[in-house]
Amino acid sequence: ILETVMLSYMNFFSFFLFFFSTGLTVCYSFRLVYYSMTGDFNSTTLNMLNDKGWTMSFSIFFLMVMAIIGGSMLSWLMFFNPEMICLPYYLKNLTLMVCLLGGFTGYLISNVNFFFINKSLVYYNFSFFSGSMWFMPLISTQGVVKWPLI
């Protein structure tokens, strides 16, 4: 999909936004996998499934094979003429670099110790003011309670 977007005519801002959002998606996905799969006892619910039996393994394997076959059949039925993607070397590697940099950024964000300090408490009043639709709750609730209508 990314290489097909590179073939189309689009301006630099759209191109940058597309690849930046792809990098952020990879970053988020890596952090999700990292936090859910690493650490102590993060997969206790999966351990209780006891998927060591042949029925569960065969079912999962059958679903995997059918998903691959179904996806390829759908792709062959939807796209009659396969499109040849001819790009320069640096654009071919841009997709790989965006994915690798997104994953590396997600890993760095997950492991850095200074993210454990809650810096939002320093700017609590500003974040409360800007996050509460400016002063709308003060007008709509406290104004009516403190100064009732006559």
Same domain, 83 and 149: no
Read off the pLDDT of each residue in 3-31 and give the average, rounded to a whole number: 88
Question: Domain for residue 67, yes or no?
Answer: no
The residue that leads in pLDDT, 88 or 139, is 88
CA 76 to the chain's CA centroid: 28
Question: What is the count of structural domains for the chain?
Answer: 2
The pTM of this model reads: 0.54
Question: Domain for residue 71, yes or no?
Answer: no
Single-letter amino acid code for the residue at 66: M
Q: Which domain holds residue 35?
A: 2-51+79-117
The reported pLDDT for the residue numbered 58 is: 83
Residues 62-120 have pLDDT tens digits of 999 999 999 889 888 887 777 777 888 888 899 899 999 999 988 888 776 555 566 65
